[in-house]
A = this chain, B = another copy of it.
Amino acid sequence: QEIICIFGTGDFGRSLGLKMLQCGYSIVFGSRNPQKNNLLPNGAEVLSYSEAAKKSDIIIIAIHREHYDFLTELTEVLNGKILVDISNNLKINQYPESNAEYLAQLVPGAHVVKAFNTISAWALQSGALDASRQVFVCGNDSKAKQRVMDIVRNLGLTPMDQGSLTAAKEIEKYPLQLFPMWRFPFYLSAVLCIFLFFYCVIRDVIYPYVYEKKDNTFRMAISIPNRVFPITALTLLALVYLPGVIAAILQLYRGTKYRRFPDWLDHWMLCRKQLGLLALGFAFLHVLYTLVIPIRYYVRWRLGNLTVTQAILKKENPFSTSSAWLSDSYVALGILGFFLFVLLGITSLPSVSNAVNWREFRFVQSKLGYLTLILCTAHTLVYGGKRFLSPSNLKWYLPAAYVLGLIIPCTVLVIKFVLIMPCVDNTLTRIRQGWE
């Protein structure tokens, strides 16, 4: 049984100690106050810092960086030992050097390894390790690192070797980040939504108010969101496939794949997943908003009144096959598009994408992805139907919102169509096949 020493009997120290005891390690705690050992796990020993350090050659420093100074007094006993730094800061770039490097400076004779900082004390203790089980490990001494990684693995966590101690800076950032990859897609879609919202308010609320004195404000609850969301979804979906098309044009133009893309394109390509998932979210909202249409008071009132009027006029409505066709087919296209959309979403789940091979993943994401785009674009086109761009549909020279929403998708589809022409495609394939 390996003995491990933990400095600090705070939340994290206790939780880690408990977990380690459960996994078969012997634990000795170092504390300023070895007597006052309430709440400590059964079976653990508590000693003063220096005595505890003597018992083991692996010491986990479960103390805030601010209180590291006292360790300088222990340099001798810590010499040659493995010190595991698990500390986090309160904000990114709080200190010039990472905590682990600071620790290495304080105790130059020890092998400092950074680990465990992404794990929450509460989660460790309660076993509710819902958030990440990944433990990022770095350090300059590879033997020390290896021993820490073995411990991590034995605790049922997943160690990820990140290289030398300089990586600690990066590792200390992880637990402070909040969805960094989602930031750009999120702001983009927020801007899109707000713009479209005001655009629709002008067309659907202010315009009728100005010309017909009709109070249409209630439309802002459902009708207008149900324009804004699907158009945002469609635009975002097109923006997922636009960078691939731009990249292809660039490669064709340059005649080689061995040149880096401009930074903006690189970044764009890396956040396509997030763009796509946001698009799915908006599409989902669109579907819900659409499905509740028939239970809305306004719709029931309108249809009811229509029927009453007809009944009073004693006139039945003639049936138009072409309307039935148009209405049914745009809805059917939407449903099929949404279905494939959900499929794309399911294959983005880490566990599913992990279970398919690269070719299968590409097949779903690229082939079915384009099919999704085609179906959703067709859905909107057929919905627009004959009204599309007809002057009677302009209000204050503003076309209907969905016309704007169609610009990017149609552009992407047209360029892609050109790119898969055999002549262009062959050149591209040759370029992508490699070394000229």
A residues adjacent to B (C-beta < 8 A): 1-2, 10-11, 22-24, 38-39, 118-120, 123, 126-128, 130-134, 138, 142, 154-156, 160-164, 167, 174-179, 215, 217-218, 221-222, 225, 257-260, 269-270, 273, 281, 284-285, 287-298, 300-301, 303-312, 314-317, 319, 321, 323-329, 331-332, 335-336, 338-339, 342-343, 348-363, 434-435
- Chain B's nearest CB lies how many Å from the CB of A308? 5
Sample 8 A-B pairs with CB under 8 A, ordered by A number: A128-B273, A131-B356, A131-B361, A154-B161, A156-B161, A281-B343, A293-B294, A308-B317
- Chain B's nearest CB lies how many Å from the CB of A78? 23
A329–B223 Cα gap in the complex (Å)?
11
Contact of A357 among B39, B131, B296, B298 (CB under 8 A): B131
Q: Please name all residues of chain B whose beta carbon is closer than 8 Å to the beta carbon of A360 when the two chains form the complex.
A: 131, 177-179
Contact of A218 among B284, B321, B338 (CB under 8 A): B321
- Chain B's nearest CB lies how many Å from the CB of A387? 15
**Nearest CB in chain B to that of A174: its residue:** B357
Q: Please name all residues of chain B whose beta carbon is closer than 8 Å to the beta carbon of A155 when the two chains form the complex.
A: 161
CB of A358 within 8 A of CB of B298, answer no
A351–B349 Cα gap in the complex (Å)?
7
A26–B116 Cα gap in the complex (Å)?
25
A273–B176 Cα gap in the complex (Å)?
24
CB of A354 within 8 A of CB of B132, answer yes
Given A23-B161, A132-B357, residue A38 in contact with residue B258 (CB < 8 A): yes
A97–B218 Cα gap in the complex (Å)?
70
- Chain B's nearest CB lies how many Å from the CB of A167? 8
Given A258-B38, A303-B300, residue A359 in contact with residue B221 (CB < 8 A): no
CB of B339 within 8 A of CB of A221, answer no
Given A11-B434, A295-B293, A360-B131, residue A164 in contact with residue B222 (CB < 8 A): no
A297–B326 Cα gap in the complex (Å)?
9
A2–B434 Cα gap in the complex (Å)?
29
Q: Please name all residues of chain B whose beta carbon is closer than 8 Å to the beta carbon of A160 when the two chains form the complex.
A: 156
- Chain B's nearest CB lies how many Å from the CB of A184? 15
A98–B358 Cα gap in the complex (Å)?
20
Interface centre among A167, A292, A298, A336 (most CB of B within 10 A): A292
Q: A128-B270, A131-B358, A292-B331 are in contact. List 15 more A-B contacts (CB 8 A).
A: A24-B163, A126-B269, A126-B270, A130-B273, A132-B353, A133-B354, A134-B354, A177-B357, A215-B321, A217-B325, A285-B339, A290-B295, A294-B294, A308-B311, A308-B316
CB of A328 within 8 A of CB of B123, answer no
- Chain B's nearest CB lies how many Å from the CB of A143? 12
- Chain B's nearest CB lies how many Å from the CB of A205? 12
- Chain B's nearest CB lies how many Å from the CB of A280? 11
CB of A297 within 8 A of CB of B128, answer no
Q: Please name all residues of chain B whose beta carbon is closer than 8 Å to the beta carbon of A134 when the two chains form the complex.
A: 354
A270–B39 Cα gap in the complex (Å)?
19
CB of A306 within 8 A of CB of B304, answer yes
A390–B335 Cα gap in the complex (Å)?
33
Given A130-B353, A311-B307, A316-B305, residue A120 in contact with residue B358 (CB < 8 A): yes
Q: Please name all residues of chain B whose beta carbon is closer than 8 Å to the beta carbon of A119 when the two chains form the complex.
A: 358
Q: Please name all residues of chain B whose beta carbon is closer than 8 Å to the beta carbon of A317 when the two chains form the complex.
A: 301, 304-305, 308
Q: Please name all residues of chain B whose beta carbon is closer than 8 Å to the beta carbon of A315 when the two chains form the complex.
A: 308
CB of B281 within 8 A of CB of A24, answer no
Q: Please name all residues of chain B whose beta carbon is closer than 8 Å to the beta carbon of A257 when the two chains form the complex.
A: 11
**Nearest CB in chain B to that of A38: its residue:** B258
